Structure 1
Amino acid sequence: MTLNVENKQNVLLYRAKRRGRHYLKLLYQRVNPSHETRPVFILGSGRSGTDIVSHCLSKAWDVELINEDNPKAFDNWRLKSLEAVKGAVNASNATLVLFKPIVESLRAEEFLKEFQSAAVVFVVRNPHDSINSMVRFFGEAQIRAVKSWVETDFARKTQAPAELREFIASHCHADLSVEDAAGLYWLLYNSSYLFLDLQSSPRVTKIRYESLVQEPYETIRETCDFLGVKWFPSMTEEVYAGSVGKNRKPDLSPAIEKRCSEVWERLTVEKYQNSTASSIV
């Protein structure tokens, strides 16, 4: 009983500290408003580390985070419109405004075209750990999401290549397992980094989840340098490496396993890695 009380007190204290820091940041940004505010889009697949990347970067005093549940720019986890994004950027006193519309990662090119000062941080995580996490977190909803793509979204204009859409549709059968649905989900979103040719853009940087949790200082510091914001050590104090390779490989069909492995290899070999050494500022 005493332990439960202490845990509740610790949680309340943590929330109070975060809330207090949030209001201090707003005051700081109001007293020291930026002359130019730029949008940054945190993209990638679900359960790949976009939350922790956003959390780390949002600790910077000149950064504002507008998350997927924030009605300033989002409705039901999707951006209301690009006009709403512009409004949120124009209303901010921060140097950077972070948005995390990961379900709209395939719109990365559109975001960069619409906002000439924008940057994209694309987060990737190895398929086995990411798929295991999706299965635990989303369950059967993952199957419904993939079937919805095939039944509706793929009939509309989409950036995804026809061959990839056909592969996903051919594996979206009546008895689609949760593991295979998560694998197809991972495949589409992570492939977008490649088929949108984001690696060639100087306004895009890629973060590997494994690098983030195993070398947090270096990874976030490089990302801050890229974005032109000040880094400090406490930004990564809540990052832990315990989730890498923690569980067994998911039970994927051979064809989906092969495609995911091929995409992961392309995402991680050096020729496809863009450097964060140069700043976009």
Structure 2
Amino acid sequence: MQKQYTLNDALTAVRQGHRSETVAILNDFLERKPKIGGDWLKIAGLAIRIGELDKAKQAADIYRAEMPQTLRHLINYAGVYAETGDIQRGLKLIEPLIKKELDDPSVYHFAGTAQAQLGELDRARNYLIHALRKMPQSGITWFTLSSITDYKKYPELLNKLEQAFATIPEADAKNRQQFYYSLGKAYSDVGRFDDAYQAYSAGAAIMQQASRFSASADEQFINDIIANHSAEAVAKLPQSRTSYNRAVALLGLPRSGTTLLGQMLAAHSKVKGAAETGAIGYASMHLRNDNFADFPGFMKQHGDPQGAIDHISDVYAHVVNQQFSGANLVVDKTIQLSRHFAIWAQAFPQGKAIYIQRSPEDVAWSCFKSNFRSRADWSWSPSDIASYMRHEERLMKHWLDVFGDRVLSIRYEDLCQQPEQTLKQVCAHLGMTFEPNMLHFYKDNGPVFTSSVGQVHEPIHQKRIGLSAQYKDFLDAWRQS
């Protein structure tokens, strides 16, 4: 008799890094369709957590069919589709409710967030402002609105933001944190740079309490990667036999211009899209930290090293193909892809990479002011930022030595000041011909899920080059670390 899995079995498999087992458990649930009500939402969440987006949608469909047809359940259902990248589907479910003029602010928040990600900034702003009329104490709504708003053009919104913040209790730390980052953005827009730094610092201090980042552990991790991945050690690793030839890696620190370059490339006729796919993480979730630090050593001990790298490339391709169908290139700008780059490079031996760099001062300040949440807990203090950046630079220098002309280095400043010339270099590296439409990426591009959402839906400019100079106290603390 075949075992009938439980939700706890699925949770355990995910925690232990057993992706294949998790997939089998998800398949069992989707085939049996047990009456588990709201737990179908948890099944969808687990599917997203391992990159099984199609299974997440299937679970969400069952959730929708089983649960009462309430507004909350509809928003949950639409949220799964949005989280899988199908924002249009989510909007189609929610926007009819707006036409009914419902009073629930969550409807307008959802629609505003989705429209912002799609680049419909005026419509997004209207929705978010409407949500705040109903619920002015919503920090996440203010934060989303701030990311797409220039407060110089909307000074009345700054007054309302300050008034709303004054009503937030000290004990409501999570909400205050969102308000602090919103205020920081607003004060920066209107040139109140000291106030902006104080607001960002207050928000970061709240986040710092939950940080697990250890500068010494991170340094050791990078030391181990560099020591164990010499050119000789990498050359001995098996290369995948995959026929998948869509992979392009976009490397660089957060806020170094990866989203901008990704959107420019996505405007090319031979590129399907650009995103933080997370695919290399899903494909190698069975590996432990020490395996990442010494992948050659892990492969030496593996009973079937060729099969192991083929499996990683197959899972990666499966994950990406769910997000981007077709045969065109896909630009992967996943955060910390540099730390998995040796694995990626062996999984896709024909794959090319672009490494984009930016003024360290501008990167450091931009990381500090970006509300990355738990994905970058090194970004909440000047000293942690300095340490992380220093070791990331060492790692990238090492990969440039190991992989040579497979990686093209460019600078953000060149991309802004000489976009056509820089893009021609990138296109040549990827075996493509430059297309003028790449310079007009902001007119018709894909959804953006990063903190650059408001910036990459506008023409290229140089306004953010050197912006860190306005924050001397931060730079002093960063440089002294």
TM interval, short-chain normalised: 0.5 to 0.7
- Matched residue, 2:460: 239
- Matched residue, 2:477: 252
Amino acid at match of 2:259: D
- For structure 2, the residue ranges without an aligned partner over 5 or more in a row are 1-111, 122-242, 284-311, 441-458
The answer as to 2:454 corresponding to 1:229 is no
Residues 183, 254 of structure 1: CA spacing in aligned structure 2 closer, same or farther, 3 A cutoff?
A: closer
Amino acid at match of 2:476: D
1:57 and 1:235 in contact (8 A); partners too: yes
Question: How far did 1:191 drift?
Answer: 2.1
- Matched residue, 2:344: 111
Structure-2 separation of matches of 1:199 and 1:243 = 33
Structure-2 separation of matches of 1:93 and 1:140 = 33
Question: How far did 1:189 drift?
Answer: 2.1
* Counterpart pick for 2:333 among 97, 100, 105: 100
Structure-2 separation of matches of 1:141 and 1:251 = 25
Higher strand share: 1
The answer as to 2:369 corresponding to 1:146 is no
- Matched residue, 2:318: 87
Question: How far did 1:254 drift?
Answer: 4.8
Partner SS, residue 102 of structure 1? coil
Residues 181, 60 of structure 1: CA spacing in aligned structure 2 closer, same or farther, 3 A cutoff?
A: same
Structure-2 separation of matches of 1:55 and 1:253 = 30
Higher helix share: 2
1:199-214, aligned counterparts within 5 Å? 201-214=404-417
1:132 and 1:247 in contact (8 A); partners too: yes
2:247 and 2:351 in contact (8 A); partners too: yes
Partner SS, residue 205 of structure 1? strand
Structure-1 separation of matches of 2:346 and 2:245 = 17
Partner SS, residue 248 of structure 2? strand
Amino acid at match of 1:201: G
1:140 and 1:178 in contact (8 A); partners too: no
Amino acid at match of 1:95: N
* Counterpart pick for 1:54 among 256, 262, 269: 262
- Matched residue, 2:370: 137
Structure-2 separation of matches of 1:251 and 1:96 = 42
1:4-15, aligned counterparts within 5 Å? 15=120
Question: How far did 1:107 drift?
Answer: 1.8
* Counterpart pick for 1:39 among 237, 244, 247: 247
Question: How far did 1:253 drift?
Answer: 5.1
- Map Cα deviations across residues 121-143 of structure 1 (whole Å, 9 max, x no partner): 1111111000110111138869x
- Map Cα deviations across residues 6-44 of structure 1 (whole Å, 9 max, x no partner): xx9x9799549xxxxxxxxxxxxxxxxxx9733001111
- Map Cα deviations across residues 93-118 of structure 1 (whole Å, 9 max, x no partner): 23312111132312222211111111
Amino acid at match of 1:245: G
Amino acid at match of 2:344: F
1:129-208, aligned counterparts within 5 Å? 129-138=362-371, 145-146=377-378, 178-198=381-401, 201-208=404-411
Structure-2 separation of matches of 1:247 and 1:223 = 27
Question: How far did 1:65 drift?
Answer: 2.1
Structure-1 separation of matches of 2:478 and 2:327 = 46
Partner SS, residue 231 of structure 1? coil
Question: How far did 1:88 drift?
Answer: 4.6
- For structure 1, the residue ranges without an aligned partner over 5 or more in a row are 1-7, 17-34, 148-176, 257-281
Structure-2 separation of matches of 1:99 and 1:13 = 19
2:400 and 2:407 in contact (8 A); partners too: no
Question: How far did 1:221 drift?
Answer: 1.4
Amino acid at match of 1:251: D
- Matched residue, 1:261: none
Question: How far did 1:119 drift?
Answer: 0.9
**Aligned positions, number:** 194
2:385 and 2:478 in contact (8 A); partners too: no
Structure number with greater Rg is 2
1:38 and 1:117 in contact (8 A); partners too: no
Structure-1 separation of matches of 2:399 and 2:117 = 43
Amino acid at match of 1:146: W
Question: How far did 1:228 drift?
Answer: 1.3
Structure-2 separation of matches of 1:94 and 1:14 = 25
1:121 and 1:204 in contact (8 A); partners too: yes
2:245 and 2:348 in contact (8 A); partners too: no
Question: How far did 1:79 drift?
Answer: 3.0
Residues 138, 191 of structure 1: CA spacing in aligned structure 2 closer, same or farther, 3 A cutoff?
A: farther
Structure-2 separation of matches of 1:59 and 1:232 = 9
